[in-house]
Chain A
Amino acid sequence: AQKITQTQPGMFVQEKEAVTLDCTYDTSDPSYGLFWYKQPSSGEMIFLIYQGSYDQQNATEGRYSLNFQKARKSANLVISASQLGDSAMYFCAMREGLMTGNQFYFGTGTSLTVIP
């Protein structure tokens, strides 16, 4: 089974609107971390937001928030008030805990295009 699944290869959003990028994960480790990265056309992976498996509240970083639903094993990224500069690839990632050797997994990514 895939450790990280991103089912949306491409998404479009109108400028200033909110958009949700989906991510589901699979792990039996009780301790894990979930990450979102942005990759613009330049190629660099930019860290956006982190959610720990024991965190009670959803993580937020500026216009980014992570909708963490532990029972459903989902960690969707919500971008509010989209800007043209948000057009990029977005990758969901998971780090498993000590029980499974701190392995790090990336999804296949979602391409987001913001329309003016």
Chain B
Amino acid sequence: DGGITQSPKYLFRKEGQNVTLSCEQNLNHDAMYWYRQDPGQGLRLIYYSQIVNDFQKGDIAEGYSVSREKKESFPLTVTSAQKNPTAFYLCASSFTISDTQYFGPGTRLTVL
């Protein structure tokens, strides 16, 4: 089955720790994205990648980092510099940056 997987589904982190969220797709999509969603709000773009070994900052990149070493994978690291990381994180992908984005099931991150 083709799709986008995110792991883990729930993640708990202590303050001051870095944590990495996984996103994998087998749809052969070139573009991948990370969004953050806070309660009662829409999605805000953190980072996106149009192609392997390339990525661009979105609207709220501070305190986050990404890598795109493989077409299928786009992990997001939430660093200790992110002051309010508790949120729901969604990964998406599309054939190209002009195409429809399809989403993974999301990771809910809670900072204790």
Task: Identify the A interface with B (CB < 8 A).
Answer: 4, 33, 35, 37, 42-47, 50, 91, 95, 97-98, 102, 104, 106-109
Type the 1/0 row for B71-112, where 1 means its CB is closer than 8 Å to any CB of A: 000000000000000001010100001101111111010000
Task: List A contacts of B103 (CB < 8 A).
Answer: 37, 44-47
CA distance A91 to B40 in the complex (A): 12
In the assembled complex, B42 has its CB within 8 A of some CB on chain A: yes
- Contact at B97–A102, with CB atoms within 8 Å? yes
A111 smallest CB distance to B (angstroms): 9
B100 touches A91 (CB 8 A): no
Q: Bound complex: CA of A41 vs CA of B58, how far in Å?
A: 26
| Bound-state Cα–Cα, A97 to B45, Å | 17
Is B41 an interface residue, CB under 8 A from the partner?
yes
Find chain A residues with CB under 8 A from B42 CB: 4, 91, 106-109
- Min CB distance, A59 to chain B, in Å? 12
B43 within 8 A of A: yes
| In contact, B45 and A44 (Cβ under 8 angstroms) | no
Distance in angstroms from A37 CB to nearest chain B CB is: 8
Known: A35-B100, A102-B97, A104-B101. Contact between A45 and B45, CB under 8 A?
A: no
Contact, CB under 8 Å: B102 / A47: yes
In Å, the complex CA distance between A95 and B100 comes to 9
Contacts of A47 in B (CB 8 A): 100-103
